[in-house]
Amino acid sequence: MPETSVAKPHPRRMLAAWYLRSLDRSFISVFMTFGLVLLFALLLLRGGADDVESNLRKTRADVLALQPETVDDANNAMLDYQGANAAIVRFSGQWTDSPEYFASRSAEGYFAGQEVKTYLQQNAAAIQRLLQAADKPRCDWRLNYAAGYAMMLPHLSMLRSDARLLSVYARECAHQRDHTEAAHAIAAMHAIARHAERDPLLICGLVSIAIDGIADQTIESIVLWETPTSAADIESYRKSAGLYRKWHERALRTLECEKRFALYTLDGMVNESQLNGSASATAALGVPYYVGGAIFWYGADRRCCLKVMNDIIEETRAGKRTHDDTINARIEANQTGPAIFTTLLLPSLGRSSDAFARNQEQAIATDAALAWLLFRAKYNREPKSLEELAPEFLAAVPHGVFHDLPLRVRTDTSGFREKPPPLKTGTAPLSAAPLLPGIVRIYTVGKNGQDDQGLCANAGEELKPKPNANSEIEEDDTGFRVPPFKEREATR
């Protein structure tokens, strides 16, 4: 191509020929248009001056620092859980026919049947192993924190199944009037919940709440259907439940952890070094770092996420609960550019403290209800109010967590209906008639702050349709149902 070095103008004819062949340039035009969109977008967005590499190094170190200390095999409850789960014989039928389903229901005559006995005999070894595991104070799940949100957590579903099995065992023990062993099983369930939340991840905390919930439901169903009458039995249940569930300590721990994981994920998402083999959250998920063009808004998104998370954490540290309806406003207030990741993550994270608060309210209501039963056992009469339980059975009238209002008591003369199982062909709903008229409900007003008469839309009760059908506020009281009082015959 000798012409290239010759500095002379081209004939117009050549220019014309080149110009008319515009189809040849169309490929370049299309390619350049895509490129220019990115170029102009970068100039408009400006992003942030954050150093992605150093951010990732720091957040990775922060995340790895969360890893709990390792536990040797002899003291590690994890191996017992694994052994127990290997020995479990699963129920082969439908969920609505399983002992686990009936463990928290009225189940008239179900626990006297041979099917439950056979099921528990088959799982006797597993249950003993679970009780041993729960007795161990230390548990190391050996999770890979470097994987970030892509970390595998197979133990969580396993622990929930274990808690359900122990729930059946506790209910069966209570049916056999062995309340001490039933209380032992419930204490084991709470220990499993503590082992589940040994890692400070939100998902672990939520599973721990679920397991606590199974334990609380088991106590309630035992109190309703296999009611303990001796003070010693009731006291053993009360000890097993405990009041350890401090919502803001658990929420704070979880939020600190989630902040580190969120930033680690965001840094990993935009960092190209993961292509060179360094482990990162998104690399483990198989997401290329440049997907979605997240790099263009990385800086603004990261700063917004960090600021709002720090606000929530500080608020939680001060003992205040973050209202989830304020989170969107906080994001907007701290937004300096697109906040896509922040918007996806934070609203759900902000609600986590609600879950912990409700869990603590349940523990408070359970404890107050068991104190109520203790009063009955001791004085052979119904207390007039919760005030009458103080100071002998309660230090003072307990207050709810959401609104710091004292617990309420209501005698429900109409009883309650259990939610029927999903209909199978040819079967009718279980509870056609209301159960236990005269039941005593001990409850807090819940998050919505209004007295819903101790009812909760998400509990196992079937509620009457609300008079105001347009009302969007659901019943959300957290409570405990105590069976109607039956006077004991005087001992002679």
Partner 1 sequence: MNAASPAPESPALKPPAIVQKQAAPEGRVARWRRCRRELKLSAAGFDLQRILPLAGFLLSAFGAAVVPNATVQAVVPWMVAASVLLIAIYFGHILFFRLQCSLLEFCVIIAALGNLEGLLLTTPGIFSVGRDWVIVLAPLGVAWLFYGAVIGLVQAELCDRRGTFARLFHIAAGWLSTGAPALLALGAILWFGRNEKRVITPNLAVWAIPMLVAGALGIVLRFWIGRAASRAAKEISFQA
Q: Which of residues 281-320 bind partner 1 (CB under 8 A)?
A: 283, 286, 288-290, 295-296, 298-299
Question: Which residue, 7 or 65, has its beta carbon nearer to partner 1?
Answer: 7
Among 265, 271, 352, 366, binds partner 1 (CB under 8 A): 271
Provide, for the chain, the percentages of residues in helix, strand and coil under a 3-state DSSP scheme, each rounded to the nearest 5: 60, 5, 35
Question: Does position 112 bind partner 1 by CB under 8 A?
Answer: no
For residue 144, the minimal CB distance to partner 1 (Å) is 19
Residues touching partner 1, count (CB under 8 A): 73
For the record, the structure tokens of 340 come out as 């896509």
Question: Which residue, 158 or 340, has its beta carbon nearer to partner 1?
Answer: 340
For residue 6, the minimal CB distance to partner 1 (Å) is 8
Return all residues near 268 (Cβ < 8 A) that are at least 6 apart: 56, 148, 274, 280, 281, 282, 283, 289
Question: Which residue, 49 or 433, has its beta carbon nearer to partner 1?
Answer: 49
Of the listed pieces 2-10, 71-79, 349-357, 409-417, which binds partner 1 according to CB under 8 A?
Answer: 2-10
CA distance 399 to 389: 14
CA distance 441 to 368: 11
Phi-psi region of 148 (alpha: psi -120 to 50; beta: other; left: phi over 0): left
For residue 261, the minimal CB distance to partner 1 (Å) is 20
Question: Which residue, 200 or 338, has its beta carbon nearer to partner 1?
Answer: 338
CA distance 20 to 12: 12
- Is 399 in a helix, a strand, or coil? strand
Question: Which residue, 7 or 428, has its beta carbon nearer to partner 1?
Answer: 7
Q: Is the dihedral of CA 95, 99, 105, 111 positive or negative?
A: positive
Among 90, 94, 107, smallest CA distance to 157 is for 90
Question: Does position 384 bind partner 1 by CB under 8 A?
Answer: no
Of the listed pieces 175-183, 197-205, 241-249, 330-338, which binds partner 1 according to CB under 8 A?
Answer: 330-338
For residue 332, the minimal CB distance to partner 1 (Å) is 7
Among 49, 86, 318, 490, binds partner 1 (CB under 8 A): 49
Q: At what angle do helices 231-241 and 352-379 cross, to 10 degrees?
A: 170
Among 38, 61, 423, 473, binds partner 1 (CB under 8 A): 38
Residue 40's DSSP bridge partners are none
Question: Which residue, 334 or 360, has its beta carbon nearer to partner 1?
Answer: 334
Q: Is the dihedral of CA 14, 17, 22, 23 positive or negative?
A: negative
CA distance 89 to 86: 9
Q: How many CB atoms lie within 10 A of CB 370?
A: 25
Among 410, 381, 402, 397, smallest CA distance to 319 is for 402
Q: Within positions 343 to 382, which residues make up the interface with partner 1, using CB under 8 A?
A: 343
Q: Within positions 5 to 34, which residues make up the interface with partner 1, using CB under 8 A?
A: 5-21, 24-25, 27-29, 31-34
Burial class (CB in 10 A: 0-12, 13-18, 19+), 203: middle
For residue 353, the minimal CB distance to partner 1 (Å) is 22
CA distance 173 to 176: 5
Of the listed pieces 67-75, 245-253, 332-340, 399-407, which binds partner 1 according to CB under 8 A?
Answer: 332-340
Question: Does position 325 bind partner 1 by CB under 8 A?
Answer: no
Of the listed pieces 159-167, 206-214, 339-347, 389-397, which binds partner 1 according to CB under 8 A?
Answer: 339-347
Of the listed pieces 87-95, 163-171, 181-189, 333-341, which binds partner 1 according to CB under 8 A?
Answer: 333-341
Among 41, 112, 329, 333, binds partner 1 (CB under 8 A): 41
Among 334, 329, 338, smallest CA distance to 310 is for 334
Among 132, 227, 326, 336, binds partner 1 (CB under 8 A): 336
